Structure 1
Amino acid sequence: MITPPETLARVQTVCIALVALVTVVAAMQLAKGLLAPVALGLVVAIIAAPGMRLLARLGIPRAVSASISLVCVGAVTVLLIAGLGPIVMDLIAQVPRIEDEIRWWVIEASRAIRGLETMQTEIAERLAKEGDAVEDAMPTLLDALWVAPNFAAQLLTFAGTFFFFTLTQNEIYGTFKKQSEALRHADKAVSHYFLTVTAINGGLGLAVFAAMTLIGVPNPILWATAAFILNFVLYLGPVLLLLALGVVGISEFGGAYSLLPGLSYLLLNMTEAQFVTPTLVGQRLQLNPLVVFLAILFGLWLWGPIGGIISLPMLVWLIAYLAHRPQPQPQPDTDLAPTQA
């Protein structure tokens, strides 16, 4: 059976596209030290675009507006690090405690199946290996000196990308005359989405703080901050916090009351996800859960934490752009058009 030339051409096109896709993804991963801060700078600049438009309406020159925006982004970053740093460190400090609780459950379950002495020996050996692994994982002064220039370079790349894109955004979009409106609409969609979701997550954090305070969970501000931060990472973040609150509830309380912290957070999160977010964000920006989940996983795999942060805004931008890009107009067939007398 002879394959038609059209089918062969189609198969060749698909194969070339797959090879090109794999090559591009591999190149993006290899160049993540450069591309990740560039992409983060573009995303933050798009989110900060409403502030730039406000400054422009006030008659402030664009170069001054870009400088003010960069200073504001830096100030907000410093304030977040200063304010959330101790809370995040406290949250990280809870991880060994949660691991100890999980390990204790595993030991209790294993005692019912295997001999106690064998389990004790294996656990002691495993703990010794984990201790060696922790010591090996601790960064040395040489490691810190090696990482510092790379971090400074990425920070400079981010700042430069943010400043120059903010400064020349009109000129950049002006070169794409037919696509300019769709590009600006996508930018507005990302800004609207991010600012609305930030407000929603802030409300969720306050609700979690009130619930944990009423239940009597230690350090409720810690769990409120964790709810605010982790809710930006859809699906994965809430699941991790739900598991952590479940462990804390069992370790702090007894009986059915130990399930109350996790159930309270689950109820608040479901209310936010099913009613608050769809109402405030709008159906036009609702995304397929599978697409969102895969986008976040891909971003984390590709560029680490930065990829996980920017994957959702980039997905929103792409969907909004594709929905509003101008469609090509079909050209009339002049051969079949009637001739004028």
Structure 2
Amino acid sequence: MTIEQGPGPGPTGRTVSGVLTFVVGAAALTIVLGGVHAVASIIGPVFLALVITVTVHPARRALERTRLPEWAASTVMLIAAYLLIVVMTLALVVSVAQLAALLPKYTTEFTETVNDAVATLEGFGVEQAQLDKVAAAIDPARLVELVASILGGTLGALTDVFFLFTVLLFMAFDTNAARRNLHLLGGRFGDVVTAVGHFADGTRTYMVVAATFGLIVAIVDGVALYVIGVPGAFVWAVLAFVTNFIPNIGFVIGLVPPALIALLEDGPGLMLAVIVVYCVVNFVIQSIIQPRVVGESVGLSPTLTFLSLVFWAWLLGPLGALLAVPLSLLMKAMLVEADPRLSWALPLISGRPETSD
């Protein structure tokens, strides 16, 4: 006796199955993202510690080539990382304190400026109801709310000293073991190990270049603002350094607050001087020189970089905005470069045509 088998799944069945798979995958992704968002205060500092460890790793290898014992090299790099964090924390503490003391001085001037702007709009025939909404939305207390959020968020991650220092301690002394394990796994999971190497190289290049040019921009901006008489020059210099790590819109975030303070302090002339200084210094360095130096290490198109900035800022807060590029490099390495079948997506991600060897 033979049993006749029914026909295989038709197009409708495959469509339903595909839709269900998509829905289940989307639901799982939503749950994962919700979990990550809930523990952002842990994930952010951990990834920051990883980025610092990856960035200083070449110096560690240089120390090892001098026949310095492994534990001594780990200790030296750990102390260097600790000093870096302490210096950044002190700079942020001072800048946030100066910012808190600076803003109340300009509350009256800011209110008068808003009222003058509203009167000007009224003269152009804008309806009173719309003017009231504009005036209510512009609160002097929010003058540099974004600045305070960025500086405060970065400071919050750095001032959780015990947790960050502990994570760095373990990472510093686990580096060699991790390196040896990756070398052993290279024969079995070559693509994954190569992808991890690309992430490390790209992150290291990006962080070193961003920090170097950020320091140059901060010094030049701070000196220029001090010379032309803009209050809070140190605050805006620290802000320029921090926002140099924010892709695409970092220049604008760093420019707006000192330009507004200059407007309130001495009118449109001083504000125009600030804008000229920032456009000459920040735009040339951040938009022309820095991308050329970073070169191929990032491999993210401008559009994708901006979207990743928005995504990571939402997911992890201000620290996510500062680490948006390294985080995106990690996702690219793990989700795309680790799977040879997805190599076709790399030109789309980088925004550059695929080149043949």
Q: CA deviation at 1:236?
A: 4.0
1:103 and 2:111 equivalent? yes
- Distance in 1, matches of 2:113 and 2:232, equals 24
Any idea what SS the aligned residue of 2:340 has?
coil
Q: CA deviation at 1:41?
A: 2.0
Within-5 A mapping of 1:182-331:
182-285=195-298, 287-319=300-332, 325=338, 327=340
Q: Which amino acid aligns with 1:51?
A: A
Retained in 2: the 8 A contact 1:50–1:191? no
- Distance in 1, matches of 2:160 and 2:41, equals 9
Query: After the TM superposition, which segments of 4 or more aligned residues of structure 1 sit over 6 Å from their partners?
Result: none
Within-5 A mapping of 1:1-341:
3-97=11-105, 100-110=108-118, 151=160, 154-155=163-164, 157-174=166-183, 176-177=185-186, 178=190, 179-285=192-298, 287-319=300-332, 325=338, 327=340
TM-score scaled to structure 2, two decimals? 0.71
Q: Which amino acid aligns with 2:42?
A: L
Q: CA deviation at 1:249?
A: 2.1
Rate the CA distance shift 1:209–1:33 in 2: closer, same or farther, 3 A: closer
User: How large is the Cα RMSD of the aligned pairs?
Assistant: 3.5
**More displaced, 19-28 or 261-270?**
261-270
- Distance in 1, matches of 2:231 and 2:110, equals 19
Unaligned 5+ residue runs, structure 1?
A: 131-146, 329-341
Unaligned 5+ residue runs, structure 2?
A: 1-9, 142-155, 342-357
**More displaced, 183-192 or 297-306?**
297-306
Retained in 2: the 8 A contact 1:66–1:167? no
CA distances 1:286-321 after superposition (whole Å, capped 9, x unpaired): 532332233233323222233233222122344466
- Distance in 1, matches of 2:72 and 2:36, equals 33
- Distance in 2, matches of 1:53 and 1:32, equals 32
- Distance in 2, matches of 1:291 and 1:101, equals 40
Retained in 2: the 8 A contact 1:208–1:265? yes
Any idea what SS the aligned residue of 1:59 has?
coil
Retained in 1: the 8 A contact 2:210–2:290? yes
Retained in 2: the 8 A contact 1:204–1:269? yes
Q: CA deviation at 1:190?
A: 0.9
- Distance in 1, matches of 2:80 and 2:25, equals 42
Rate the CA distance shift 1:276–1:323 in 2: closer, same or farther, 3 A: farther
CA distances 1:148-180 after superposition (whole Å, capped 9, x unpaired): xx9466335533453354242214424532122
CA distances 1:249-296 after superposition (whole Å, capped 9, x unpaired): 212224545422123213322212331112211145253233223323
Rate the CA distance shift 1:101–1:72 in 2: closer, same or farther, 3 A: same
> Which structure exhibits the higher relative contact order, with contacts defined as CA atoms closer than 8 Å and separated by 6 or more residues?
1
Q: CA deviation at 1:191?
A: 0.7
Q: CA deviation at 1:199?
A: 1.0
**More displaced, 71-80 or 4-13?**
4-13
CA distances 1:66-107 after superposition (whole Å, capped 9, x unpaired): 232222211222233335532342234333445554333223
- Distance in 1, matches of 2:329 and 2:221, equals 27
Rate the CA distance shift 1:171–1:96 in 2: closer, same or farther, 3 A: farther
Rate the CA distance shift 1:290–1:96 in 2: closer, same or farther, 3 A: farther
- Distance in 2, matches of 1:240 and 1:182, equals 33
Rate the CA distance shift 1:26–1:201 in 2: closer, same or farther, 3 A: same
Retained in 1: the 8 A contact 2:99–2:232? no
CA distances 1:117-170 after superposition (whole Å, capped 9, x unpaired): xx9xx99xx99xx8xxxxxxxxxxxxxxxx9xx946633553345335424221
Q: How many residues align?
A: 301
- Distance in 2, matches of 1:257 and 1:34, equals 42
Rate the CA distance shift 1:18–1:326 in 2: closer, same or farther, 3 A: closer
- Distance in 2, matches of 1:33 and 1:254, equals 41
